[in-house]
Amino acid sequence: MKKVRMCYPYLKETSFKCDYEVETDSLASHIGYAYSKATAYKEMQEELTWLCEMAYHVNGSIRGKVAVTEEDISKAIDIHDKYQLLVKEETKMFSLPIGCELAGILNLCRSKSKNSTRWAYKIAKFEDVKVDKLVTDLLNTMADIFFVMSVWANKMENIETIEFVSKSYDVRFFD
């Protein structure tokens, strides 16, 4: 019988590190999908390429050596701030993750970034593994980037941002 090859050598382990690495791989794949839908926006494609690379850098930064730097965080913040300036008021509310196809994919990237961050926190808490703050800072910033990019993508398609007001909480998060 032929030997079955494993696409990823850690799939059988029970450590949360495996779940984190699978989730950050999924994040990178979603970023690649966003890239494929951003063909009208060359600068965004360049930024998405860099963000995809960063998703793989954070992927190995817990099991291996930290591959994220302060300069990476600074660049990520610059990308965020650029889109934030372009969409201003539309990002001062919690909004529904709907709109054009590119915005939808970017919202999936946002969600994957947040989920990756949660896995990193779980690893630090329950496996007593040091998770460098640069990793979680970058993942959190990436979530913010994908949010403002999604609002911008909708704006480019003349699709209005729709605010979501929760019936569960008595506060607005962006007041």
Q: What is the pLDDT of residue 8?
A: 63
Handedness of CA 140, 142, 147, 148 (dihedral sign): positive
Q: How far apart are CA 162 and CA 99, in angstroms?
A: 9
Three-state DSSP string of 135-149: HHHHHHHHHHHHHHH
CATH fold for domain 20-60+67-156: Hypothetical Protein Ta1238; Chain: A; (1.20.1200)
Q: How far apart are CA 135 and CA 59, in angstroms?
A: 9
User: pLDDT, tens digit, for every residue of 6-39?
Assistant: 666 777 788 999 999 999 999 999 999 999 999 9
Phi (first) and psi of residue 56, to 5 degrees: -75, -30
User: pLDDT, tens digit, for every residue of 80-98?
Assistant: 999 999 998 666 667 888 9
Q: How far apart are CA 4 and CA 146, in angstroms?
A: 37
User: pLDDT, tens digit, for every residue of 115-171?
Assistant: 999 999 999 999 989 999 999 999 999 999 999 999 999 999 999 988 888 788 765
pTM for the whole structure: 0.91
Handedness of CA 107, 169, 23, 87 (dihedral sign): positive
- Sketch the domain layout of the chain as residue ranges: 20-60+67-156
Q: Is the pLDDT of residue 110 over 50?
A: yes
| Both structure tokens of 35 | 């890239």
Q: How far apart are CA 123 and CA 128, in angstroms?
A: 7
Between 172 and 117, the more confident residue is: 117
